[in-house]
Structure formats: C-alpha cells, structure tokens
C-alpha cells in the first residue's frame, strides 16, 4: 500500500507493555517489537512519513542494573532513564539498520511544548528529519523532567507530537486490542469506531497495563487531543501480526477515533501545547460574545482572576459555574487585571482565543 493512497504522516506510539515483560525488555528474535520495526521499515520504504514515540528507558535501566521494582524517587528514575536510554536507542538502531532505515533520537520535555518558540523549533527539527528520510524516535527526557512538568505518560506525548506535526494518523500500540465494552457479558468485545469520546467513556471498561504508567483512560485523553487537532487515532494491539499493514489497508483493527475539524496550528498550541498559568472567570454576556459572535474578550466581562501570570501567557477561561470553555493568550498581567485600571484594549483578542468546542475541554 503506497503512501499516496491515504494517510501520509503517521505517529506510532509503542508502549512499555510491548517493550517489556516482567520488567525486562523482550529482545527475543520473534519479539513484537522486531515485527513492528520490520513493518515500519517497509512502510518507510514505500514513502510513508513515520514518527515513532517510545517508552522503555527506565525499564531498560532497571534491567541493566538488576533492579526489579520501579522506584518512586525521582532521582533514581532519572538515573535509570539515563542508563537505559543509551541501550534502548542502540536496540532500535540495530533493528532499523536491519531494515536499511536510518533513525534519530529526539528527547522532549513538557517545556518544549509550553514555550511557543521551543515548540516551533522542535517541529522544525522533526520536519527536517522527515525530509532527510530519517525516522525520529521520540521519548520524554526523563533524565531532566520533574514530576510537576512531566507529560505523565507517552500517550499524551504522542498525541501532542501528532498535533504538532499535522499528522494524518496516530496509532497507539499496547497489549490491548482496543476499547472493550463494559455493558456486555463478553469482556473482550471491542468497540471499533468512536465519534464522540465524552459519550463513550461511560460504556468503556477501564484497563491498565501492569508495566506502564498509562492505561485506557490515558489513551482516551490522548485520543481527545489528537482528534481535536484533526488526527484520526487508533488504539490496537502490537501483538497482532501485521497490525500496521492491516490498519493502513483499511481493515477493522482495534478502535478508531474519528478526527474532528482541525484547529489552526496556533490554536492547537494554545489548547494542548501551552501549560495555562492562571484562569479568569467571565460572565454570561462575555460567554455569549465569545461563543456565539466570535468576539474578543473585553475587560468588563471578567469577574474573577486567579493565579499569577504575565502578558503573553496562556490562561484558562471559565464561566461562572467554573466550567472551562476556552483558553487564550492574555494581553495583560494578572496584577493589571486585578487592579482593573486603564484597560481599554481586548484582554484576549479573538485570534488568540481557542474555543473549547473540543471534547478535551468540554467534559472536564
């Protein structure tokens, strides 16, 4: 199947459950990872642009130092990640070399998405690697990330990469076949198509790998971000032979989340890239002006200001009931808004407002 027959740019996330077994990375000759890399190499040779998001650095570090239990201490996690990342990339390089495909390591932190310039710089680097016909292998930089600014898991990282890179498809591969129904006697009945994530959540049986930090709830959040950015998302099992081939051939594999209307790159960053530095609560008139008439946010509509932020920061915008309905780039610092003097311009211009039509915001 050629790349011009449908999806062109694909983000593939490989979970810890695929890489590890009983906290040891599976390096058998018939491992699912080896099969997946072989598939990726074939697709790459056919013209697909592929970005691979991987977990496993801490798990590999644990194996190399002989530690069985995953540590809670952040310093030990960072040290194990530093040890494991080298071996993890060597393993990937060996596997891709067998398929005559070049790879590059890209380590990202939450700050690389929060800061607009770093966000664009990272995108430019990834785009250049794709132009050079190289497969970027992306992981969170666990050696420097602290708990307060971590992605949480690589499901979220992969969805942000998919949004950042205008991907056509995000594939989340783990040890589950997709979303399972909770309202059926057959616990393995997969829901194959989802058009409304917030509605499907109450019908889904929670699941979580014993090896990873994510789980099905994490994958649903990732699907929200990706589909809200115009990226079709599929959750499938990496242990299904030929899973990528079947997905790209249009077979009914795993659970497909239908993409919504795509947001602009700037508004994707506002909603999903930037970390909000504060929040403002607005009255019903301002809500109506923003949602129904696409107006800018003016100072008279603001009723409460929370947090400390500066001009150019992203803030949450909530109605009087406390429900988040938008995010935007603020034109004034929090102290200026709290004082309320000489505020004649828009507090948030309509071009810097990302309305919460995405389910990512509306079902919070």
DSSP-based three-state secondary structure for 196: coil
Q: Any residues with CB less than 8 A from the CB of 276 and at least 6 apart, and which? A: 313, 314, 315, 316, 327
CA distance 13 to 19: 11
pTM metric for this prediction? 0.80
Domain boundaries along the sequence of the chain: 3-267, 276-362
**What is the model's pLDDT at position 69?**
79
Q: Report the Cα–Cα distance between both ends of the chain, in Å, rounded.
A: 40
CATH class of 3-267: alpha beta
pLDDT of 212 reads 46
Identify the three-state secondary structure at position 103. strand
Which residues neighbour 96 within 8 Å (Cβ) at sequence distance 6 or greater?
37, 40, 41, 102, 103, 135
**How confident is the model over 91-97, as a mean pLDDT?**
93
Mean pLDDT of the chain: 82
Residue 121 has pLDDT above 70, yes or no: yes
- pLDDT for 218 equals 82
Three-state DSSP state, 207: coil
pLDDT of residue 317: 94
Q: How many CB atoms lie within 10 A of CB 15?
A: 29
Element containing residue 85 per DSSP (H, E): helix 74-98
d(CA 323, CA 48): 41
> How confident is the model over 20-42, as pLDDT tens digits?
653 445 555 567 888 899 999 99
Q: What CATH code would you report for 276-362?
A: 2.30.130.10
Q: Is the per-residue pLDDT at 70 higher than 70?
A: yes
Name the strand (E) or helix (H) holding 83. helix 74-98
């Amino acid at each position: 199947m050629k790349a011009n027959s449908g999806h062109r740019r694909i983000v593939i996330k490989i979970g810890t459950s695929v890489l590890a077994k009983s906290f040891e990375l599976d390096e058998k000759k018939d491992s699912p990872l080896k099969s997946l890399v072989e598939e990726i190499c074939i697709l790459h040779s056919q013209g697909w642009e592929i970005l691979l998001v991987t977990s496993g650095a801490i798990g590999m570090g644990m194996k190399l130092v002989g530690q069985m239990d995953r540590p809670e201490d952040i310093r030990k996690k960072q040290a194990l990640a530093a040890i494991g990342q080298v071996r993890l990339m060597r393993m990937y390089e060996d596997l891709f070399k067998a398929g005559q495909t070049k790879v590059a390591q890209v380590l990202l932190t939450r700050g690389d998405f929060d800061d607009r310039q770093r966000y664009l710089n990272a995108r430019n680097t990834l785009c250049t690697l794709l132009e050079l016909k190289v497969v970027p292998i992306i992981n969170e930089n666990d050696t420097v990330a602290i708990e307060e600014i971590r992605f949480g898991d690589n499901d979220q990282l992969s969805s942000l990469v998919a949004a950042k890179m205008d991907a056509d498809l995000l594939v989340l591969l783990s040890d589950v076949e997709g979303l399972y129904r909770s309202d059926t006697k057959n616990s393995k009945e997969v829901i194959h198509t989802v058009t409304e994530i917030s509605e499907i959540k109450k019908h889904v049986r929670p699941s979580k790998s014993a090896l990873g930090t994510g789980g099905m709830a994490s994958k649903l959040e990732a699907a929200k971000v990706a589909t809200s950015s115009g990226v079709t998302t599929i959750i499938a099992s990496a242990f299904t032979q030929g899973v990528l081939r079947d997905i790209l051939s249009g077979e009914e594999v795993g659970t497909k989340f239908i993409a919504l209307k795509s947001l602009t790159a700037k508004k994707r960053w506002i909603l999903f890239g930037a970390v909000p530095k504060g929040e403002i609560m607005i009255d019903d008139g301002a809500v109506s002006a923003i949602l129904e008439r696409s107006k800018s946010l003016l100072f008279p509509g603001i009723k409460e200001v929370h947090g400390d932020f500066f001009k150019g920061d992203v803030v949450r915008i909530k109605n009087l009931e406390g429900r988040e309905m938008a995010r935007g780039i603020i034109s004034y610092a929090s102290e200026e808004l709290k004082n309320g003097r000489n505020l004649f311009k828009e507090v948030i211009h309509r071009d810097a407002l990302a309305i919460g039509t995405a389910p990512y915001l509306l079902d919070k």
